[in-house]
Amino acid sequence: MRIVGTERLEDCFDGSSAYSYCFNGRWTRTDILALDALGQVDYYPGFPRPFFRVRGREGWVVKGVEGEDNCHAVFPGRGAEEGKQRFEAQFGDDAEG
Amino acid sequence: MSIYLNNAATSWPKAPGVPEAVSAALQAPPSDGRRQGGRADDCLEQCRCRIAHLLGVPDADRVVLTSGATEALNLAVWGVPLTHGSRVVTTVAEHNSVLRPLYHRSRPLRCRVTHVAVSPDGELDTSGFERALADGADLVAVTHVSNVTGRAMPVSELFRASKAAGAVTLLDASQSLGHLDVRPDELGADLVAFTGHKGLGGPQGTGGLYVAPYLELAQIRVGGTGVRSELLAHPQEMPLRLEAGTPNTPGLAGLAQALQWHEFEGVAARGRVADRCAALRQGLSELPGVRLLGAGTSPAGIVSFTVEGWPVEDVGQVLLESFGVTGRTGLHCAPLIHGPLGCAPWGTVRLSAGPFTTEDEVAAAVSAVGSIAVCA
């Protein structure tokens, strides 16, 4: 999975920054569960289209749906840029997987 | 599966015949009855007359057609005579389309603006309202139905006290027109702002403002009217006094159709909205971990709630993306009510039924929320 598009969304009122990411593939169960390397994964396979949420150690949150090629990420106000860079590095050109 | 439960934001599907009326207006050679000497079948005048009929007011010329409730509320708030130190009373239940015009209007004049509170179940603090009027008031602006809790305000009672205090009364009927009787005379409303795209089932970009015959608002927008073009000064007679520029004829053609449909089907539609809302509220109330906001069934079909252990935004996203249920989450542009309701700063999940919402759709939405709630 690699990021192929990034869009800045409206800033959150709590000072966080929100982004929408587009990937070169669709989220599979395996991809989602592999995100536990980044933080706590909440995965809901019982939903008709399974939802997932990852809470990163730096406070960021990533949310998406299995089968889609995108996800939303919210990075908290303090350290937002560092969190964003760390998340994006996981899905950059040099990333594994 | 796609279930639309966001009718409090904008109605969908539209009232029967509305898309066709808009399309027909766009495809026909443009005409403007007013500018061509007035025609009985002119859709603007049809709209005006049908709205006057719906409001129970005798003079359709007191109905100003606007791009929606926001423009209507701005016309009202900026048109009412306020001076340095004027007193304004409103409520925490108001939408930003009331709060922001009031803020911008009152700030340079150093007006005293009081936002009357609501209880944790959304009931207006009527004692607080009376206290706010104690020193008199120049303008009172109140929503008829909260767009967050769906609860109707005791407008007659509030406006009776407001008028006794000397205030001009402004009713925001955005969430009520089409769902409730909105009769300015009975409610004591000097001004009624409304939209066409919610309870009336008309197109976005339509709405209006009723101005009582004894009230004259200042003009905040002037320009072309298609008549009296030889004058540099904007015409003073209503409704032209408060209308300028090319009207949204296709949208108003759609609204005229919606109003016509409403005249025949409105009572039955109200019943369906109330039934679906009651079923939605009842179903959600039986789910563990779901907290309903407000009390009782909303006449506008609105149910707001939170789900224990889930951010409201995530509930909205899961409902939409995993279950195909369109609702709305957050503050709903009414930022002040969430503190008293105990759901600040994130707001609520709001589902809102319309006249075409089915029983199966309600059941599916309740089931979806139940699936989310058990995963907390």
- Alpha carbons B194 and B148: distance in angstroms, whole number: 17
A65 touches chain B (CB under 8 A): yes
Do residue B321 and residue A65 have CB atoms under 8 angstroms apart? yes
The predicted complex's ipTM stands at 0.86
Angle at B263 between CA B262 and CA B269, to 5 degrees: 45
Given a cut of 80, whether residue A78 has pLDDT beyond it is no
The pLDDT mean for chain A works out to 86
Kindly compute the dihedral angle of the four CA atoms of residues B369, B371, B372, B376, in this order, to the nearest 10 degrees: 130
Residues 6+ apart with CB under 8 A from B337: B92, B93, B118, B122, B146, B148, B149
**The two structure tokens encoding residue A32:** 């989602």
Closest CA to A7 of A17, B227, A16, B184: A17
Q: Is the CB of residue B309 less than 8 Å from the CB of residue B288? A: no
CA A51 to chain B, closest CA, distance in angstroms equals: 7
- Alpha carbons A15 and A11: distance in angstroms, whole number: 7
Set B43, B111, B333, B343: catalytic member: B333
Banded pLDDT at A96 (limits 50, 70, 90)? very low
Beta strand spans in chain A (E): 3-8, 17-23, 39-44, 51-56, 61-65, 70-75
User: Residues 220 to 239 of B: which have CB under 8 A from any A CB?
Assistant: none
- Alpha carbons B92 and B222: distance in angstroms, whole number: 32
> Between B314, B323, B371, which is nearest A53 by CB?
B314
| Residues of A whose CB is below 8 A from B317 | 51, 63, 72
Q: What are the strands of the beta sheet with B348-352, ordered from one edge?
A: B290-293, B302-307, B348-352, B328-330
Given a cut of 60, whether residue A95 has pLDDT beyond it is no
Q: Judge residue B264's burial from the number of C-beta atoms within 10 Å of its C-beta, 0-12 exposed, 13-18 middle, 19 or more buried.
A: exposed
- Alpha carbons B203 and B23: distance in angstroms, whole number: 11
- The number of residues in chain B equals 376
pLDDT the model gives residue B33 = 57
Given a cut of 50, whether residue A67 has pLDDT beyond it is yes
Taking only the tens place, the pLDDT of each residue in B300-318 is 999 999 999 999 999 999 9
Written as tens digits, the pLDDT of chain B (376 aa) is 799 999 999 999 999 999 999 999 999 988 765 655 555 458 999 999 999 999 999 999 999 999 999 999 999 999 999 999 999 999 999 999 999 999 999 999 999 999 999 999 999 999 999 999 999 999 999 999 999 999 999 999 999 999 999 999 999 999 999 999 999 999 999 999 999 999 999 999 999 999 999 999 999 999 999 888 999 999 999 999 999 999 999 999 999 999 999 999 999 999 999 999 999 999 999 999 999 998 888 999 999 999 999 999 999 999 999 999 999 999 999 999 999 999 999 999 999 999 999 999 999 999 999 999 999 7
Helix crossing, B69-79 with B96-109: angle to 10°? Answer: 20
Taking only the tens place, the pLDDT of each residue in A12-58 is 656 678 899 999 999 999 999 999 988 899 999 999 999 999 998 77
| Residues of A whose CB is below 8 A from B321 | 49, 51, 65, 68
pLDDT the model gives residue B300 = 96
pLDDT the model gives residue A13 = 59
Q: Is the CB of residue B47 less than 8 Å from the CB of residue B65? A: yes
Residue B72 Ramachandran class (φ > 0 left, ψ -120 to 50 alpha, else beta): alpha
Residue B29 Ramachandran class (φ > 0 left, ψ -120 to 50 alpha, else beta): beta
> Between A13, A14, A49, which is nearest B322 by CB?
A49
B286 touches chain A (CB under 8 A): no
Helix (H, G, I), strand (E, B) or coil at B337: coil
Given a cut of 80, whether residue A11 has pLDDT beyond it is no
Closest CA to B159 of B148, B149, B147, B173: B173
Do residue B322 and residue A53 have CB atoms under 8 angstroms apart? no
User: Which chain B residue has its CA at the smallest distance from A49's CA?
Assistant: B322
pLDDT the model gives residue A58 = 77
